A and B are shown apart, each in its own frame.
Chain A
Amino acid sequence: MRVETHKTGRWCAYRFAQFWAIPLVTMLTLAAAVRIGTQTNPSLEYQVKAAFLFSFTKFIEWPSDAFHSDNAPITLCVFRHDPFGSALDEIIQGKTINNHQVLARRVNEFSDLKSCQLVFVGKEEDKGLSAVLNSLKGTSALVVGETDGFAERGGGVQFFLEVSQLRFAINVDAVQRARLTVSSKLLSLARVVHDRDHPKGR
């Protein structure tokens, strides 16, 4: 997903950042935006969502059989349409969680999803959620989305906006099926949700 930086673009981004003292992620994203040929600058919403995707990995434990070796990477996958531009790549650059390097990939085929520890299914791909969940049955992938009802339909985590704050819902049934251990600190921030047809579900 990386493209060479154009010299003028870098200068423009530097002056812009100097003026506004924008945090690092946004600076890098602006630099990416003026590169020739890359995706358009991801909105602030997707910069924050990218940061949250990475942050989830700090509060979740995958079972050891979710990795093919002790130092296998944690792979964050984006299913087909990718709204993040370079934001996700930049946030995870050089980061490790519990000795696992964090990587980001874009996945187009259902059969490739099995190598992912986290799969983001954006609103453009929402109709594919059932098929994605089917492909991931028995695995320990955390499936994250952003549409209404995503969590109740079996997704693990669903982003939603509350006033101006990005929040998330966690489907505790889905997370349990995936044998994921979610920190109580993360759960206490979330709106807890059950499967739609679970006795406790709405």
Chain B
Amino acid sequence: MIGSNSTAALTFQDSKSASEILSALRARLHVLHGCIYDLDGKPLALYSRYPIKAGFSPPPVQGEGSSVVAGHMHLFQNVVLNGDAIGTIYIEADLGDLHAR
């Protein structure tokens, strides 16, 4: 849903709107970080659940897919508009609590 909501923000390179869209991730308790990248792989907006002194450094953009490393899931998803890829969403989520049950 973040992807489809961000099509306009990406199309018009509106980083403020893109940030607002990412802030909806706050409702997903296990999401630690988020990033919207434009077509050049440049971050348009960032999100972090907890404040980080140095700021969150997003990983270099990758193709679609997910991986799990040390209990964290890293997910990349293409944003598509009219059949064209226009950017990428990245989400990092903590799976720890889910495993502990």
Contact = CB atoms under 8 A, between A and B. Distances in A.
Interface of A: 23, 52, 55, 58-59, 97, 165, 167, 183, 185-186, 188-189
Interface of B: 5, 7-9, 11-15, 17, 40, 81-82
A191 B8 CA distance: 14
A97 B82 contact: yes
Contacts, number: 28
A2 B81 CA distance: 29
Given A183-B8, A189-B8, A189-B9, A58 B14 contact: no
B28 to A, nearest CB: 20
Given A58-B82, A97-B82, A189 B7 contact: no
A186 B13 CA distance: 12
10 nearest CB pairs, A to B: A185-B8, A55-B11, A189-B14, A189-B17, A186-B8, A189-B8, A189-B12, A58-B82, A59-B8, A58-B81
Nearest to A186: B8
Contacts of B5: 185
A196 B26 CA distance: 39
A161 to B, nearest CB: 13
B13 to A, nearest CB: 8
A60 B18 CA distance: 20
A188 B17 contact: yes
Nearest to B11: A55
Nearest to A97: B82
Contacts of B8: 59, 183, 185-186, 188-189
A167 B9 CA distance: 11
B12 A52 contact: yes
A165 B14 CA distance: 8
Contacts of B9: 185, 189
B5 to A, nearest CB: 7
A185 B7 contact: yes
